[in-house]
């Protein structure tokens, strides 16, 4: 099925992508439980009963909520699932994780989209920064070997506030830091979070580059990928790109096999 609209349902919000001419051309972020916002966006994009939807996500109840809403509009969405990435699956892109059905479909779709950009030209590292930060590794032959999960910047900020007596809840501004130290509590927290994100990604990239023995491609996506704008990895890279629509593009491509 070739979708007109792709939806990525994350832990905090959902993203809709409008497809045209074989790519995702527009993206919007919407609340989970807000049919009013969904209706307004559907009207803005002039969607109707002939619109073809493809949906993937990590929150089953929210997938069901959106599917029910679409059914009321006489739309039957294609649900993209982990089965597409099993050994022998139709995409030709497989994962070697121990428990296929426990890994977040967003990780697989983002890795799949990144791999499809280059197809055997280089190994790939995919960094996705949302509620959680994930880093996934794809071999040159299109095998996803696994990855790493750690708290995203908003979770880090919230945990420092919730589990200490005096530390404030700080807003996150995902930009590359320029300071070496913070001059007050808020700036110190922001700088610490930024360096935790960047330092973890850089070390993991270095280890993967050593493992594969050649410079990998790196993709960053997610709401807080701005930390990496202008960042220089310590290991050599084959190329680097920030693409906020990478997961949506993975849904678009995977939906062709549903």
Do residues 114 and 246 make contact, with C-beta atoms less than 8 angstroms apart?
A: yes
DSSP secondary-structure letter at 170?
Answer: P
**CA–CA separation, 178 and 98 (whole Å):** 40
Q: Choosing from 4, 83, 98, 106, which is the catalytic residue?
A: 106
What ranges in the chain are assigned the alpha helix state H? 35-44, 60-72, 105-116, 153-162, 185-212, 246-254
For the chain, the C-alpha Rg in angstroms (whole number) is: 19
140: tokens are 């040159």
Is 243 considered catalytic here? no
Helices (H), 104-184: 105-116, 153-162
Which residues are catalytically annotated? 106
């Amino acid at each position: 099925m070739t979708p007109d609209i792709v939806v990525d349902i994350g832990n905090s919000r959902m993203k809709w992508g409008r497809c045209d001419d074989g790519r995702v051309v527009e993206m919007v972020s919407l609340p989970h439980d807000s049919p009013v916002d969904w209706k307004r966006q559907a009207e803005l994009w002039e969607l109707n009963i002939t619109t073809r939807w493809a949906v993937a996500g990590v929150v089953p109840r929210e997938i069901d909520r959106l599917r029910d809403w679409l059914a009321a509009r006489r739309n039957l969405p294609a649900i993209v699932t982990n089965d597409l990435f099993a050994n022998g699956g139709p995409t030709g892109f497989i994962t070697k994780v121990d428990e296929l059905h426990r890994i977040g479909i967003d990780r697989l779709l983002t890795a799949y989209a990144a791999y499809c950009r280059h197809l055997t030209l280089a190994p790939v590292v995919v960094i996705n920064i949302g509620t959680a930060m994930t880093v996934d590794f794809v071999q040159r032959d299109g095998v996803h070997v696994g990855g790493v999960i750690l708290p995203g910047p908003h979770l880090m900020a919230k945990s420092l506030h919730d589990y200490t007596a005096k530390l404030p809840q700080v807003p996150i501004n995902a930009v590359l830091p320029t300071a070496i130290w913070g001059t007050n509590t808020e700036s110190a927290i922001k700088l610490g979070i930024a360096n935790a994100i960047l330092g973890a990604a850089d070390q993991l990239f270095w280890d993967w580059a050593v493992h594969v023995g050649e410079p990998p491609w790196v993709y960053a996506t997610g709401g807080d990928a701005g930390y990496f704008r202008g960042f220089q990895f310590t290991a050599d890279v084959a190329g680097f790109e920030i693409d906020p629509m990478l997961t949506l593009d993975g849904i678009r491509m995977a939906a062709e096999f549903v």
